[in-house]
């Protein structure tokens, strides 16, 4: 009997219980249908075993014994051969073992680059399956001892699943409809009854002979019929099946719509992951303040006073000479040493040298001659680079200190402004150091003190 | 409770000349079926009040667990008492506790099956059910403790667009495989073993719904001898597979601790010590459940005093192994000469968590000594109370291991006392709710005792064997 028909006849023992009920109550049975098997009940496990032996000896193949628990010795009595299941399970276990080994090597130890030529042949989609060398604490990429637990677990898992599936498949289960269930008495096979069924499909089957054989072995024989109603497929299953199928397609349809449809709305953000947090954002409205603005201006801000009426501490910059190098609109000629931040001593110039070597020397060079490393490299590339100025040429030596300060602060030509990076006092220190460089580059022997001069001469 | 003791038949004696019955009372196969199926077939309006009350309480507690988990998801792990340095709090304690409890079921099913201990048939089914429900409770905790639960799939080797794979040299990942495999195999073992009994309920079903549901669950089992043959082979293979699995699972769980280098954790005794503790706690939980279940569901003749007696003996043995492990840990800490190890163990017994340590020792080492006495092993009240104490003690064992070592690690400036929050405690209580809800549903709707297996051990299973004399099969 083919399996699809079994499926169709699932009805009778499951949903078909509905169909069966009226028949149970009617005293007269309708046409009994096709003979499926002869069923005989026995009184004890021992009788069952002996009877099974007789049926087997009579040459029947398609017969079976049914009991509520496994019966000792019935396998040899019925001629049941030793099951091949252990071999199948061993293969399942071996597959699990190799899967564990391969999985760990592929994901944590394989060098995908080696296979790149092959991967280029397959689709982009396959990239998600690539493994790579996974370096953990300098350990070997592939170390069997660390991989044994997972290999062991997968071996057991695959074996167990294989065992159960192989058992069910070789037993032809699940099989929801079985004509034997038409016998009410047969229900005791799972309680305290012992039965032998001989199927009508057995090549040697002859109802009269089988009946005689089973009765002779001490059995109480009954005919089991394949009911005609079993062939009918109840409409309710169609309806339920159709409804379930349609409902099952809904999520798939939604996913496809979302995947291939277009929408101006942003994506639905189910898992926030702290992506959106309560915070003040620049130029945004915020109801936390009475004016409805997230950004806070200076105190006294109003339509009449767009910059407010107050200045933050340290932001007044009222000393124009110190902060801009300008007196009115004229560049200052002297460094504003009257400020407490600036001191006219060697320490001040040394500070200027140190800052100069950080900020200025990359282009202007440590001697200020305009041959810094960036400048030299940029000239080899070309492309609009303006040669860094020689800070000690005649033009620059004639510049007032205010002009140099102003240039550092705001930049000139391709030189960027350094006002944001270098504090005011340090800018003045750099100015002092630039002046020292200019003097040094154009010094005469008379400028040196006698000891240094003597040292030089003795070299 | 005195009446319970009176109603029991003492079958704990051993007499080489006589076979000790595993099933007491004058009952036959039909009685076994009626007794076991009767519970599952009780009509809704005849549900025992005790069951209804227990179910209402436990399902309400499960609902509370759900709320606690939702609160955790929406707020974050800050709702728990975990701190720095104690990053593993109740979640891991509860995980190890529940996994441990889940060991008795498969041990009874698999190891005792291989050793032909036929007395297991009375208790294996619901010990296996208990295993599955305990492992469900256990799996909950690592799932929710990861912080961003929606990233929990990172635990599995799933190909993804980021090309991120799990790190297979980590014991935490071995744990995923070990506990996942254990759950799957235990479920298969439980379900396959139940198919014949489900078909018994199917064949006795009166209502359409029951016919359909049990009809689908029993897969069309007819008790065919050809099927039984393959069934028995499969069952034997599953038992042989599950035996090393039982021993491996808690070993792998212990690797979570032992492979790290925290003083008090980094120890080779952990795998056997954890396995013994798991069996100990598992049997205690079987005992806690079996005593009321046999009382309320009328299973006294199937789960007899001999079963309880045997379980008490196993608990005594495993309790002694656990006690031995506690003492050998101290010896090794001293013998190792490592100052950190010595400190960790001195701190365990005398430090801020000394109260937890001595609770553990009292419950796990002192209480089981009661089982040396046969009178105690036959006294249901004593057994029940002792099993509760052991459950408590084994929870505290995990608390002591996790918390004492973490809260006082090798950097004294980071030491901190760990205190659970109310959310931690309610989550633990809720997990018991989940466990008992599932267990009550199982008791009510599924065959609580392996009927086919019990029947096979009864004298009636050998009736009428003319060519082969009845063997002393039931010797347990």
* ipTM for this model: 0.91
Looking at residue A11, its pLDDT comes to 42
Instruction: For Cα atoms B27, B30, B34, give the angle at the middle one, nearest 5 degrees.
Output: 95
> Taking CB atoms and an 8 Å cutoff, what residues of chain A touch B212?
14-15, 17
Q: Which two tokens stand for residue A330?
A: 């004229």
**Cβ atoms of residues B142 and B175 within 8 Å:** yes
Name the DSSP class of A333.
S
Name the DSSP class of A415.
B
pLDDT class of A167 with cuts at 50, 70, 90: very high
Measured N-to-C along each axis, helices B90-101 and B124-144 cross at an angle, to the nearest 10 degrees, of 160
Q: Is residue A269 domain-resident?
A: no
When computed from its CA atoms, the radius of gyration of chain A, rounded to whole angstroms, is: 49
- CA quadruple A15, B200, A184, A170: dihedral positive or negative? positive
> Taking CB atoms and an 8 Å cutoff, what residues of chain B touch A189?
203, 222-223
Cα–Cα distance, A334 to A321 (Å, whole number): 9
Cα–Cα distance, B417 to B408 (Å, whole number): 8
On the question of pLDDT at A103 being above 60, the answer is yes
B50 touching A (Cβ < 8 Å): no
Conformational region of residue B21, where left means phi above 0, alpha means psi within -120 to 50, and beta covers everything else: beta
Interface mutation vs chain A, best among B215, B232, B271, most A CBs within 10 Å: B215
Q: Is residue A90 domain-resident?
A: yes
Distance from CA of B456 to the nearest CA of A (A): 6
Looking at residue B224, its pLDDT comes to 93
**Within this chain, do residues A242 and A352 fall inside the same structural domain, yes or no?**
no
**Cβ atoms of residues A57 and A79 within 8 Å:** no
Mean of the per-residue pLDDT values of chain B: 88
Q: Is residue B89 domain-resident?
A: yes
Cis? peptide before A174, omega within 30° of 0: yes
Of B168, B230, B467, the CB nearest to A83: B230
Of A147, A170, A189, the CB nearest to B222: A189
Lowest mean pLDDT among A304-318, A334-348, B175-189: A304-318
Q: Do A130 and B219 touch (CB under 8 A)?
A: no
**Within this chain, do residues A147 and A213 fall inside the same structural domain, yes or no?**
yes
Number of domains forming the structure of chain B: 1
Q: Is residue A304 domain-resident?
A: no
Q: Which two tokens stand for residue B109?
A: 């099913």
pLDDT tens-place string over residues B285-338: 999 999 988 888 878 888 888 889 999 999 999 999 999 999 999 999 999 999
CATH of the domain at A360: 1.10.760.10
Tally of CB atoms within 10 A around B388: 16
Closest CA to A399 of A333, A336, A347: A333
B210 touching A (Cβ < 8 Å): no
Looking at residue A275, its pLDDT comes to 82
Q: Is residue A456 domain-resident?
A: no
Q: Which residues contact B299 (CB under 8 A, 6 or more apart)?
A: B35, B36, B293, B448, B449
Q: Which two tokens stand for residue B10?
A: 């003492």
Name the DSSP class of A267.
P
CATH of the domain at B213: 1.20.1630.10
pLDDT tens-place string over residues A237-274: 889 999 999 999 999 999 898 888 888 888 888 877 77
Looking at residue A124, its pLDDT comes to 64
B168 touching A (Cβ < 8 Å): yes
Closest CA to A405 of A307, A326, A306: A326
Mean of the per-residue pLDDT values of chain A: 85
**Within this chain, do residues A166 and A234 fall inside the same structural domain, yes or no?**
no
**Within this chain, do residues A91 and A12 fall inside the same structural domain, yes or no?**
no
* Residue at which a domain ends, from A203, A238, A257: A257
Distance from CA of A192 to the nearest CA of B (A): 6
pLDDT class of B48 with cuts at 50, 70, 90: confident
Cα–Cα distance, A101 to A96 (Å, whole number): 9
* Residue at which a domain ends, from A257, A272, A303: A257
Cα–Cα distance, B261 to B268 (Å, whole number): 12
On the question of pLDDT at A16 being above 60, the answer is no
Q: Do B212 and A15 touch (CB under 8 A)?
A: yes
Stretch 238-257 of chain B: residues touching chain A, C-beta under 8 Å: 238, 241-242, 244-245, 248, 252, 255
User: Average of pLDDT values for A94-115?
Assistant: 89
**Within this chain, do residues A332 and A439 fall inside the same structural domain, yes or no?**
yes
User: Average of pLDDT values for A339-351?
Assistant: 90
What is the arrangement of strands in the sheet containing A63-66, beginning at the earlier edge strand?
A63-66, A194-199, A34-42, A220-226
Cα–Cα distance, B278 to B322 (Å, whole number): 10
Exposed, middle or buried, B445 (CB in 10 Å: 0-12/13-18/19+)? middle
> Taking CB atoms and an 8 Å cutoff, what residues of chain A touch B215?
13-14, 17, 176
The whole domain housing A22 covers 1-27+227-257
**Within this chain, do residues A172 and A233 fall inside the same structural domain, yes or no?**
no
**Within this chain, do residues A91 and A209 fall inside the same structural domain, yes or no?**
yes
When computed from its CA atoms, the radius of gyration of chain B, rounded to whole angstroms, is: 23
Looking at residue B465, its pLDDT comes to 56
Q: Do A107 and B166 touch (CB under 8 A)?
A: yes
pLDDT class of A123 with cuts at 50, 70, 90: low
Distance from CA of A348 to the nearest CA of B (A): 44
> Taking CB atoms and an 8 Å cutoff, what residues of chain A touch B181?
153-154, 156-157
Looking at residue B457, its pLDDT comes to 85
Q: Is residue B473 domain-resident?
A: no
Cα–Cα distance, B331 to B195 (Å, whole number): 50
Query: Of A19 and B353, which is predicted with more confidence?
Result: B353
Give the β-pairing of A194-199 and A63-66: antiparallel
Looking at residue A72, its pLDDT comes to 87
Number of domains forming the structure of chain A: 3
**Within this chain, do residues A43 and A150 fall inside the same structural domain, yes or no?**
yes
Q: Is residue A264 domain-resident?
A: no
With CA atoms as reference, the chain A residue closest to B173 would be: A150
pLDDT tens-place string over residues B448-473: 889 999 898 888 777 765 444 444 34
Q: Do B241 and A160 touch (CB under 8 A)?
A: yes
Cα A65 vs. chain centroid, distance in angstroms?
A: 53
**Within this chain, do residues A100 and A23 fall inside the same structural domain, yes or no?**
no
Quote the pTM value: 0.77
Tally of CB atoms within 10 A around A374: 14
Q: Which two tokens stand for residue B469?
A: 């004399």
User: What proportion of chain B, given as a percentage, has pLDDT over 90?
Assistant: 61
pLDDT tens-place string over residues A208-232: 999 999 999 988 999 998 877 766 6
Q: Is residue A287 domain-resident?
A: no
Tally of CB atoms within 10 A around B246: 27
Cα–Cα distance, A37 to A54 (Å, whole number): 17
> 3-state DSSP: chain B helix, strand, coil percent, rounded to 5?
75, 0, 25
Q: Do B229 and A163 touch (CB under 8 A)?
A: no
Q: Is residue B476 domain-resident?
A: no
Q: How far is CA A88 from CA A91, A322, B191, B414, in A?
A: 5, 92, 20, 56
Q: Is residue A216 domain-resident?
A: yes
Q: Which residues pair with A34 in a beta bridge?
A: A226
Looking at residue B468, its pLDDT comes to 42
Q: Which two tokens stand for residue A333?
A: 């000629």
pLDDT class of B161 with cuts at 50, 70, 90: confident
Q: Which residues pair with A66 in a beta bridge?
A: A195, B224
Instruction: For Cα atoms B102, B105, B111, give the angle at the middle one, nearest 5 degrees.
Output: 120
> Taking CB atoms and an 8 Å cutoff, what residues of chain B touch A13?
211, 215, 220
């Amino acid at each position: 009997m083919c399996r699809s028909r079994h499926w169709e006849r699932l009805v009778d023992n499951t949903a078909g219980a509905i169909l069966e009920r009226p028949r149970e109550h009617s005293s007269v049975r309708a046409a009994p249908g096709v003979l499926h098997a002869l069923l005989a009940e026995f009184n004890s496990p021992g009788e069952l075993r002996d009877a099974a032996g007789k049926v087997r000896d009579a040459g029947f193949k398609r017969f079976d014994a049914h009991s509520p628990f496994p019966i000792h010795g019935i396998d040899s009595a019925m001629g049941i051969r030793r099951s091949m299941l252990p071999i199948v399970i061993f293969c399942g276990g071996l597959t699990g073992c190799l899967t564990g080994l391969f999985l760990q090597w592929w994901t944590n130890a394989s060098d995908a680059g080696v296979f790149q030529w092959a991967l280029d042949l397959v689709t982009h989609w396959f990239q998600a399956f690539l493994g790579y060398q996974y370096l953990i604490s300098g350990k070997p990429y592939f170390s069997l001892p660390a991989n044994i637990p997972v290999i062991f677990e997968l071996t057991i898992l695959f074996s167990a699943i294989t065992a159960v599936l192989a058992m069910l498949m070789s037993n032809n289960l699940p099989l929801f409809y079985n004509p034997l269930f038409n016998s009410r008495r047969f229900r005791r096979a799972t309680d305290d009854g012992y039965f032998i069924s001989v199927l009508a499909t057995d090549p040697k089957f002859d109802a009269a002979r089988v009946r005689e054989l089973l009765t002779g072995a001490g059995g109480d024989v009954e005919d089991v019929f394949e009911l005609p109603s079993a062939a009918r497929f109840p409409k309710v299953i169609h309806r339920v099946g159709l409804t379930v199928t349609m409902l099952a397609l809904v999520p798939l349809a939604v996913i496809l719509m979302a995947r291939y449809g277009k929408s101006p709305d942003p994506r639905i953000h189910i898992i926030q992951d702290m992506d959106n947090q309560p915070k003040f954002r620049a130029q945004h409205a915020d109801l936390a303040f009475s004016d409805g603005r997230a950004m806070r201006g200076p105190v006294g801000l109003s339509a009449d006073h767009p910059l407010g009426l107050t200045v933050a501490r340290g932001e007044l910059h009222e000393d124009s000479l110190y902060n801009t190098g300008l007196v009115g609109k004229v560049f200052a000629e002297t460094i504003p040493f009257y400020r407490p931040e600036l001191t006219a001593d060697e320490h001040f110039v040394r500070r200027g040298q140190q800052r100069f070597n950080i900020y200025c020397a990359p282009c202007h060079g440590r001697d200020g001659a305009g041959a810094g490393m960036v400048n030299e490299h940029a000239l080899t590339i070309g492309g609009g680079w303006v040669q860094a100025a020689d800070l000690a040429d005649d033009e620059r030596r004639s510049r007032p200190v205010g002009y140099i300060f102003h240039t550092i602060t705001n930049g000139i030509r391709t030189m960027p402004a350094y006002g944001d990076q270098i504090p005011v006092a340090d800018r003045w220190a750099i100015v002092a150091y630039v002046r020292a460089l200019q003097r040094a580059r154009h010094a005469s022997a008379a400028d040196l003190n006698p000891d240094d001069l003597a040292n030089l001469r003795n070299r | 409770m005195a009446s319970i003791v009176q109603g029991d038949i003492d079958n704990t004696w051993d007499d080489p000349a006589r076979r000790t019955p595993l099933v007491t009372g004058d009952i036959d196969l039909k009685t076994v079926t009626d007794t076991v199926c009767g519970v599952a077939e009780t009509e809704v309006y005849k549900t025992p009040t005790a069951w209804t009350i227990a179910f209402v309480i436990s399902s309400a507690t499960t609902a509370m667990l759900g709320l606690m988990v939702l609160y955790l998801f929406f707020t974050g792990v800050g709702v728990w008492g975990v701190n720095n340095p104690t990053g593993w709090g109740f979640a891991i304690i509860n995980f190890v506790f529940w996994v441990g409890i889940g060991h008795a079921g498969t041990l009874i099913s698999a190891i005792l099956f291989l050793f032909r201990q036929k007395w297991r048939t009375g208790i294996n089914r619901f010990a296996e059910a208990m295993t599955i429900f305990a492992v469900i409770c256990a799996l909950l905790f690592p799932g929710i403790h990861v912080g961003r639960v929606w990233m929990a799939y990172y635990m599995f080797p799933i190909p993804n667009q980021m090309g991120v794979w799990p790190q297979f040299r980590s014991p935490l990942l071995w744990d995923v495989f070990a506990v996942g495999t254990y759950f799957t195999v235990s479920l298969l073992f439980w379900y396959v073993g139940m198919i014949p009994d489900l078909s018994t309920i199917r064949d006795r079903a009166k209502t359409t719904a029951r016919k359909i549901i049990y009809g689908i669950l029993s897969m069309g089992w007819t008790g065919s001898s050809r099927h039984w043959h393959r069934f028995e082979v499969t069952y034997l293979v599953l038992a042989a597979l599950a035996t090393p699995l039982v021993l491996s699972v808690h070993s792998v769980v212990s690797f979570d601790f032992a492979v790290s280098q925290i003083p008090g954790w980094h120890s080779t005794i952990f795998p056997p010590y954890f396995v013994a503790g798991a069996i100990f706690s598992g049997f205690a939980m079987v005992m806690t459940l079996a005593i009321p279940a046999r009382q309320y569901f009328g299973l006294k003749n199937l789960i007899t005093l001999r079963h309880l007696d045997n379980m008490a003996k196993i608990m005594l043995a495993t309790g002694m192994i656990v006690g031995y492990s506690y003492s050998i840990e101290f010896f090794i800490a001293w013998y190792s000469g490592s100052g950190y190890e010595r400190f960790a163990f001195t701190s365990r017994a005398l430090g801020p968590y000394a109260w937890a340590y001595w609770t553990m020792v009292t419950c796990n080492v002192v209480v089981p000594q009661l089982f040396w006495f046969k009178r105690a092993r036959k006294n249901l009240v004593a057994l029940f109370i002792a099993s509760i104490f052991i459950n408590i003690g084994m929870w505290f064992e995990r608390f002591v291991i996790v918390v004492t070592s973490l809260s006082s690690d090798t950097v004294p400036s980071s030491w901190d006392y760990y205190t659970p929050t109310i959310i931690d405690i309610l989550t633990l209580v809720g997990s018991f709710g989940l466990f008992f809800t599932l267990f009550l549903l199982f008791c009510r709707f599924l065959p609580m005792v392996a009927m086919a297996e019990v029947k096979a051990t009864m004298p009636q299973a050998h009736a009428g064997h003319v060519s082969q004399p009845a063997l002393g099969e039931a010797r347990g």
